[in-house]
Structures are given as C-alpha cells and as structure tokens.
Amino acid sequence: MADISLLLWLFCRVFEVRCLHIPVNDRTPFEGLVKFVENSVKHEHALASSKPIYLVGDSFGGCLALAVAARNPSIDLVLILVNPATSYNKSQLQPFVPALEALPRDLHASVPYILSMVMGDPVKMAMASIIDDLPPEQTLNELSKSLTSMLPLLSELTDILPKDTFLWKLKLLKSGTAYSNSRLHAVEAEVLMLASGKDNLLPSGNEADRLRKSLKNCRVRYFKDNGHTLLLEDGLNLLSVIKATTTYRRSNQHDFVTDYLPPTKSEFRQVFDRDNRLFSLATSPVLFSTLKNGKIVRGLGGIPDKGPVVLVGYHMLLGLELGPLYEAFLREKNIIIRGMAHPFCSHRLKLHVKRCPALIS
C-alpha cells in the first residue's frame, strides 16, 4: 500500500513530468495528437540533446508513444508502455463494441458501470490511496471509505465521457492501433513494457510477447495479478520498476554508478522487512565492528560516519552475505555500499539484461 501523492512526489524528484490532457470536446485526429506530442519531444530534445526523454504510454497512450518514436528514430527516447492498446483489435470487448455504439443515448449512463467491471480491480485501486503500516482495523475502515468515494466518480464519467465523445474515442483507438502497428519496424527507442496478467480489457500478456519480438529493443515485465488500470492499482511504484529494470539513465549510455538511485524508505521496507524477511530469519546474520580503543562491539558502531571506507570481503558464502551487509550499513549508518568490480562485469550485466526481457512480478 502506498500514498499516490507520495509516489508522484518521488517520481517528480527524478523526472520533470509533462502530462498530455485531451479535453472532452476535442476532436483532434490521431496524427494530430502525435504531432502535438512530437513537437513537445523535439522542444525538450533541443534543450538537452544529451539526455533521454521518457514517454510513459498507458493503454491508448502506448499507441501515441510508439507512433512518436517511429517518427523520430534519431531522438534518444525511452518508452514505458503500460498495457498498450496496440492489441485493441483483439480486445475481449470487440464483440460488444457494436452494441455499445448502438446503445440509446438514455442508456449511455450505464456504460461507465459496464466498463468498470473490466477495467481493473476496484479493491486494489482503493488500496492505492491508503497509507502503509496502518493497523488492520484502520486499514479496513480506510478501504471502506475509499471504495465508497469511488462510486460517485462512475456517475460523473457519464458527463466526462458523453456518447459522442465515447464514439470518437473508439474511432481514435482504431486509427491509433492501425497507425502504430504499421510503424513498429521504425521504432529505435528503448522500450520497457508492463503487462497485466488479469487485463480483462486487452490481451496484454500476448501483446507483450508480440511487441517483444516485433520491436528491436524491448523488455517486458509481467504483473500477473493486476488488471488493465495497472498504474492506479496498489502495489505498483512506477519509479521502482524503472529503477529495478535498470531503465533509468541520465545520458545515452547507462552507467551503473552515476545512474544509481538510492532506495526509498518504502522500497527498503519492501525488500528487507517483507520480501527477504524469511531469508534474514533463516541466516540470522550478526555483524561486529571494532571501536578506536580496540573494543569489539555488536553492530556497526566502529564504522566511521564520515570519510571514505573500504570494505574488504571474501565470498565464503557465495556472496549471500552481501544482502545483510547492505541492509545493515543502510539501516544503521545510512551508508550505501557500492561494490568495486572490473568494467567487464558491468558489460556482462548489460548483456544479461538484454537477453532476459521477461520478468514476472
């Protein structure tokens, strides 16, 4: 569970965020939207040509991002595609689209409720706004409030998405899908695709496999328990995904030292207090250090807080001690350990990342 406002704040500390907003009554065709985004990309590229530009495309936005990348192969772009709508023609809703289009205007108010059943898991979406580490009783209370507050939003969608706009969006989806799919061969950008395993709106899992084979530099991460609205659901931190997949870089080449971003408190707790808790309990690592007077004490009290420290170790346990060491130094001293290795190791790691594109969460 995480506070969405906090996640957005953390994201904005790393990136300068721009958001594309399409007004309800806007009828700009797909190519017009592509040119609009393209102009923004070219402007940012002119300001800092040595830095990559990240395009995050969710659903229909994935089509936009791919189209912009295909038209600008010389610009260093990194695409984050979240359940892209490039598979719209194979959507599970295709058989119902004619019925939705022919639905009388008086009954159009039911469309948001119909779509809400396939868009995502409402409980996970509600949990996304609840702060971590609350007592169980308070968590249930907050969950109830969050779910209740979401109900009026569905009725408001009828005003935000009137029938004329809804029909236009469907046409926009069709044209966007055709446009982007016909230009996949021209995409030179680095692509990270996030695919949901329980997407009831699009066959995102199969589409991820197709795009991975069709695009020149595409990696995939699967989220088997999430729905179509992946970015709105609890348990996903987009910045954490970007960091964990070594997708973050400050220049045209990834550098494992200069591009390193330290873990946030929530990431630290997730890894060491939850994911690796059983490992820590099983191994029960104990660390000792020596004070200036020669006394050996438990913990890292003998490690200086300032100045360079060289830690020389020997992997008697096949490197299994690195995790507890990293955790202890960060928890007790707020010091991040950085390993020293021959550049050959970094080169091998880059090759490994490229050859292992499919990660499952």
DSSP state of 127: H
**In whole angstroms, what separates CA 243 from the centre of its chain?**
9
pLDDT per position as a tens digit, 120-173: 555 555 555 556 666 766 666 665 666 556 555 556 666 667 778 878 888 899
Residue 169 sits in the same domain as residue 228 = yes
Residue 61 sits in the same domain as residue 173 = yes
Residue 349 lies in a domain: no
State the pTM of this model. 0.78
Q: Which tokens go with 5?
A: 């406002």
Residue 237 lies in a domain: yes
Number of domains in the chain: 2
Residue 279 sits in the same domain as residue 229 = no
Residue 225 sits in the same domain as residue 299 = no
Residue 141 sits in the same domain as residue 224 = yes
171 and 200 Cβ atoms separated by less than 8 Å: no
Residue 158 lies in a domain: yes
In 3D space, the residue among 190, 188, 189 whose CA is nearest the CA of residue 247 turns out to be: 190
Residue 68 sits in the same domain as residue 203 = yes
Residue 240 sits in the same domain as residue 280 = no
Which residue range is the domain that position 200 belongs to? Answer: 4-244
Residue 347 lies in a domain: no
Statement: residue 357 has pLDDT above 50: no
Residue 154 sits in the same domain as residue 299 = no
Report the CATH number that the domain containing residue 148 is assigned in CATH: 3.40.50.1820
pLDDT per position as a tens digit, 47-68: 999 999 999 999 999 999 999 9
CB atoms within 10 A of CB 245: 17
Residue 300 sits in the same domain as residue 178 = no
